[in-house]
Amino acid sequence: MAEAWIESVGKVRKLTARIIVISGIDGSGKSTIIEGVERVLLKAGHSTYTPWLRYNHYLTKGVFALAKLFGLYSYDIKNGKRVAGYHDFYRSRLISIMFVLSTFVDTLFASLVKVYIPAYVLRKTVICDRWVPDILIDIAIDTGKSSLEKDWVWKLMWKLVPNSAKALVIMRGTQDVLDSRKENRNSRNFDLRLSMYKQLCELVDGQTIDNSGSVSQSVNQVKEIVFS
């Protein structure tokens, strides 16, 4: 059954990107699409690597410790239990800047090990499960922004994405996202995060994957973008 939809994506042509970045809100269906794209690439004879790159906390752990010391965290309580935690770094400009810079350094190190070396030394096709676009949204929310924009933080972080990479945003109906990930219902930032992913679609030149249909349809959309 699985092979049937893999065949349905059609004849594979020349690959145009060695690095493919798949982004999207939790519940958008990224993992399923990545699995499908990887199977198509493997069937076509490409060697692949699929790192998960959202959280790369090395230097950032020190910033988290300082933020905790200064009380820059808040929590939602339900039935006497914490159901969600939040970084309130926007309450301190110094912590916000330290958070951005340490995140950049940590992401640079992780990118070297998990993206650049596999892609350019080992010659693999790297399918990034989250990466710079998702990290930018995390930074924007943690530092108190109400929208995603190409500010200095964007320009700094986007330097980590090679020009030849293909950055794709997975979008899905709001109700489907909520049904897929129940924890989204408990997040006070869900609506803001979803709006930022919609903004992201515009900021990455419209490379959007509509995941409201079947898996094969979504994978085929990716194929049309990353193959010539």
State the pTM of this model: 0.90
Q: Report the DSSP pairing between strands 19-23 and 125-129.
A: parallel
Name 26's Cβ contacts closer than 8 Å, sequence gap at least 6: 177, 181, 183, 184
Q: 124 with 47: CB under 8 angstroms? A: yes
Q: 208 with 171: CB under 8 angstroms? A: yes
pLDDT for position 80: 77
pLDDT for position 77: 81
pLDDT for position 15: 85
Neighbours of 123 (CB within 10 A): 10
pLDDT for position 4: 52
pLDDT for position 141: 96
pLDDT for position 6: 53
Using 50 as the pLDDT threshold, list the residues of the chain that sit under it.
Answer: 1-2, 5, 8-10
What is the per-residue DSSP string for 131-187? -HHHHHHHHHHHTT-SS---SHHHHHHHTTS-TT-EEEEEE--HHHHHHH-GGGGG-
Name 112's Cβ contacts closer than 8 Å, sequence gap at least 6: none
Helix (H, G, I), strand (E, B) or coil at 84: strand
pLDDT for position 2: 45
